[in-house]
Structure 1
């Protein structure tokens, strides 16, 4: 299958986690992929790996919190591959774990918002400018179920993801005139390095125990018992990137095993049809 043959894609935060899964899936579908990240070692290695497998990718160091670098990223994609059809605004960071809201000093607020929200807004704007002059395209923003469901902890992160969801809907309305579709994926319960990055230095020794507890809570809250993967999110992103979603814009798609649908009902094991 080569659903993206002839298309050009940018994936921010593409060196690891969900971004890596999306970059790999899109490259396998025939797209020219510009992988953007600040982890140069991982990004360059991924590009080399995908190209060895027959892909067409390049890596570019990009801090999405810097608007000039985001604009240069779009220019680089056009220069390298001849256009831009799909923009995946995936780059994001977590805010530090603290022992409740009263212990929050909010020192990381500006950094979290700059990367998570400003990066998405600038990426949408700059990719949209090019797409508006070249027949349209698809913009895919990565939110989180943390932006849909309220919960304690990492409050700046949750706020940034909620803002991404609302911004996506606003941008979808404004850019529809140019045949640009803007949609949001809201992953949940996907094992990625971002949870580990939320630990402060004093929590580092307890991180392994904490993460195991959080992951178990996620499993308990998830109706589908299969563990989610970055590849699952990539499949959803592929849908938004292709003409299969040509009449879909302004939507938020949770990729979370049913977590935001509601609480799991625990009942005794019974045969199908038994009450």
Structure 2
């Protein structure tokens, strides 16, 4: 850890747990001050307490542009500006056996958080940044938005929309020195999968989660599983000056999953515990 973000002020939506809390803690460790927004008051307040004076927390619904504006205003009023906007908040929606069984009842909710929240957060941050020397906007997508697959169709569509929006916004905001980039995590253990199977019995949800984790592990070329800290490392890179010539970029933090299938391990290597 160092001072890569010293003097910078950030907003992180969905920052109370999972990928978001890892990013908040890493930003603070690198010298930034952070405004955290999330619907989970208990976890958000606990995170802010751990970070001390470097973090402020507010309860917000990322699908409500008016509440998002409060986060930007808070960063400017309490910390004096805004240099980094991390639109991380996202939900999965309900998991169905197949698209034939999907009633799309949660379509509006998923889209409001995953797409409208990113679009509104980008616009709100860019309005301030355009008049104050630029900044970095980081939008969270998913390998599900890069690579087609079955299941959670609304979620996949929403994350694909985030990627296309990010590239479009990057083109439009470049004249203001506002960089807009995207991180597409994959195979990172969080509670998102468990929430998607929340309508199932605990036993069935557990079996499904384990089966999907096993499938993800088989599809990942790198032998180790990713962590929220891996995603936080990518966020620090986009937030800091090392990426000052990067915009419109989509970085897959997925252990090589979107690059292709892993090479089959040789039996002798497997016996020796080698990848």
Q: TM-score range by the shorter chain?
A: over 0.9
Deviation at 1:254, TM superposition (A): 0.1
Question: Matches of 1:19 and 1:200 in 2, distance apart?
Answer: 21
Match in the other structure for 2:46: 45
| Residue 4 of structure 1: aligned partner | 5
**Shift in alpha-carbon separation, 1:22–1:237, aligned structure 2, 3 A:** same
Q: How many residues were matched structurally?
A: 268
Partner of 2:28: 27
C-alpha distance in 2, partners of 1:56/1:118? 28
Q: Under a length normalisation based on structure 1, what TM-score does the superposition of the two structures give?
A: 0.95
Matched residue SS, 1:15: coil
For residues 142 and 201 of structure 2, the distance between their equivalents in structure 1, rounded to whole angstroms, comes to 24
Structure 1 segment 10-21 matched on structure 2, within 5 A? 10-21=11-22
State how far apart, in whole Å, the 1-side matches of 2:265 and 2:47 are.
45
Of 46, 54, 57, the residue aligned with 1:56 is 54
Segments of structure 1 that go 5 or more residues without pairing to the other structure are none
SS of aligned partner of 1:99: coil
In 1, Cα distance between equivalents of 2:128 and 2:90: 23
Q: Do structure 1's residue 68 and structure 2's residue 69 form an aligned pair?
A: no
Find 1:206's aligned residue among 194, 197, 204: 204
- Give the superposition deviation at 1:204: 3.7
Offset at 1:202? Answer: 3.2
What 5-or-longer segments of structure 2 have no aligned partner?
A: 270-275
Deviation at 1:205, TM superposition (A): 3.4
| Alignment partners' CA distance in 2, 1:237 and 1:253 | 10
Write the deviation string for residues 34-66 of structure 1: whole angstroms up to 9, x where unpaired.
Answer: 111000000000110121xxx600101111111
CA distance in structure 1 between the aligned counterparts of 2:55 and 2:115, rounded to whole angstroms? 26
CA RMSD of aligned residues (A): 1.1
SS class of match (2:200): helix
Deviation at 1:73, TM superposition (A): 1.4
Deviation at 1:270, TM superposition (A): 6.3
Runs of 4+ in 1 over 6 A off after TM superposition: none
